[in-house]
Structure 1
Amino acid sequence: MTEAMLGPLRRVRAGVLDIAFHESGPESGPPVVLLHGFPYDVHAYAEVVPILADAGCRVVVPYLRGFGPTQFIDDATPRSGEQAALASDLLALLDALRIPQAVLAGYDWGGTAACVAAVLWPERCAGLVSFNSYKVQNIAQAGEPAPPENEFRYWYQWYFHTERGRAGLAQNRRALCRLLWTLWSPTWAFDDATWERSAPAFDNPDFVDIVIHSYRHRYGQAEGDPAYAALQAQLAQMPTVSVPAITFDGEDDGVMAPEGTADQGHHFTGPRTHHRLPGVGHNMPQEAPQRFAEAVLELTAPLRRATPSPE
């Protein structure tokens, strides 16, 4: 049932990847790309996709690098999890599918990919829906300590900085990822069937390498892929989001408390509305799918005006 809600699984060569993605809705509709986070997968959008497709959107939901059936084309390509790599994968996907402009929506890693694409290539982003607001990583200041009540939430990141953490993720990936689901969304009562739909995505052979690199690179603990060095230099300037944006925080988020994004307004120079959601943790698309879909639809209006009506 869930697979049918997401649309058929397809593949396309895009940049350094053979990307697996689900697609639903009319090909002529306003394009929307929905991007999952860590440790989640495309099934996070199982209830969002039908709402958007029924509204006439072309909905694309890819597996990120290191997740599910998405694969690297060349074994020699570095298994980077850095933010510029995630955004470059997104741009390559838009190019491969010949989508000139789309609404980009995501949370966690997917929110980073969407935010970075929006600031680097704003002409390709008709609008941004981002959970936890501005998701460009400030690597230059990543070594500065946060308040203790925030630091303890990131225990898994410090764990991944160690070789013990790498081994722990490799040996206990399902148990560890399920624990993160529980800690990050304490009021989300997901069942075993919901978990089992997503868990196989973490069996990707590149999953561990990419996750470990992602959490080390963002703190300056690992070198990046030279292919993305120029983009990372641009991101070091912390460029602003100029496209229309709708951002959210969950009041029950076990990773980032809503206060964590309260001072991020200056990163948005285009139209932006921000909302705090009671009863929502870190995985908004599964915890509040209707509200997430409504935000995406709100930003598709310019694309609808630009799309000729069928005769």
Structure 2
Amino acid sequence: MVPLASLSIPLPSLRMQALEAGPANGPLVLLLHGFPELSESWREVLPVLGAAGFRAVAPDLRGYGGTDRPKYGYDLDTLAADIYQLARYLQPSRPAHVVGHDWGGVIAYHLAAQHPEVVDRLAVINAPHPRVMARRMWNPAQLARSWYMFFFQLPWLPERRLSQHGGAAVPRAIRRALVDKSRVSEERLKPYAENFAKPEAARAALAYYRNSLRGALTPWGLRKLLRGYPRIRAPFLLLWAEEDIALGRELTYELEPWFEHPPLVRYLPGVGHFAPLEAPEQVATLLLEFLEDRAPASEAR
């Protein structure tokens, strides 16, 4: 088993904490976690990528875990700029492979669209392309699944709910989204509770949702949506856990207009939203096939 190391990385925008596996001179793979998670979510994926010769690095995103928690800067441009800086800091001379789950996936799309020079290959797990989400968000079934996004817009109450009782709501929420709950122990989820037990950490995580929705409703945000989204140049893989309670399978369709290469979509049956936690072996295997260009030719349905 390839050991994990902890990194503290001084970026221009903030100091970022990360987990790392693999040789320092290997091709860089950045793994970006989602809500309400940490770099810990990649703990079982990192050694597999490291053993294959990749330098696999999973940061705590802005506001999470050991990474700095500024009061501001939770808009998508700034979040993507953090990862741009991270990629340039760790591997200045060539682009990185970028993998994102949930909110990490949203950031990865944005980075690949706005800064194509730093993204070699792009893989996303259970996060819809922003334009697909914008188009299908108002479907009644998806609106019902996305109720929590609107709840998160309320002042003070959501962070109180997340941080009370030592952050106990966070492991409960993650476990509700798992299909095979035996795959993820209570002990494994303790770091998530400890992080969200801090009200300022809960507030920072919620700022992702608050900035996203409120920004989309500004004149500038609406202009950006209407103007379109740059086509992503990097080869793209979407991994989709089919038992996602928050995001419908229809969000995986009609991706072709937003990518220069035919997108690959691979479905994970019997797996819930938190696929890197619940099915790390499947996730790691499919990522390696893609990153090593061993994936069979396929097109999104």
TM-score range, shorter chain: 0.7 to 0.9
The 8 Å contact of residues 52 and 297 in structure 1, kept in 2 or not, is answered as yes
1:177 is matched with which residue: 145, 161, 170? 170
Higher relative contact order (CA 8 A, sep 6+): 1
Structure 1 position 281, deviation (Å):
0.9
Residue pair 1:101, 1:126 contacting (<8 A) in 2 also:
yes
Query: 1:234–1:24: structure 2 CA closer, same or farther, 3 Å change rule?
Result: farther
Gaps of 5+ in 2: 294-301
CA distance in 1 between partners of 2:112 and 2:122 (Å): 7
Given candidates 252, 275, 278, the residue that maps to 2:243 is: 252
Determine if contact 1:18/1:71 at 8 Å carries over to the other structure.
Answer: yes
- The C-alpha deviation readout for 1:74-94, integer Å capped at 9, x for no partner, is xxx542322222211101111
In the alignment, is the contact (CA less than 8 A) between 1:138 and 1:238 conserved in 2? Answer: no
> Is the Cα contact below 8 Å between 2:19 and 2:57 reproduced in 1?
yes
Q: Say whether the 8 Å CA contact 2:121–2:235 is kept in structure 1.
A: yes
| Aligned-residue identity in percent | 28
Q: Would you say the 8 A contact 2:242–2:272 is kept in 1? A: yes
Cα 1:22–1:120, aligned 2, differ >3 Å: closer, same or farther?
same
TM-score for the superposition, normalised by structure 2: 0.84
5 Å-filtered alignment, 1:6-155, equals 7-72=4-69, 78-99=71-92, 100-132=94-126, 134-136=128-130, 146-155=138-147
**CA shift in 2, pair 1:147/1:222, >3 Å:** closer
Once the two structures are superposed, residues 238-275 of structure 1 have per-residue CA deviations (whole angstroms, 9 ceiling, x without a partner) of 22222111102111101102122223332222242101
Q: What SS class does the counterpart of residue 174 from structure 2 fall into?
A: helix
Q: Deviations over 1:123-149 (max 9, x none)?
A: 21110110135443689x58x862333
Alignment check: 8 A CA contact 1:6 1:49 kept: no
Aligned pair count reads 288
- The equivalences for 1:192-203 within 5 A come to 192-203=186-197
Query: What amino acid sits opposite 2:130 in the alignment?
Result: V
CA distance in 1, matches of 2:37, 2:284: 18
| Worse overlay, 120-129 or 206-215 | 206-215
8 Å Cα contact 1:253-1:282 kept in structure 2:
yes
8 A contact 1:103–1:299 mirrored in 2: no
Amino acid at match of 1:67: Y
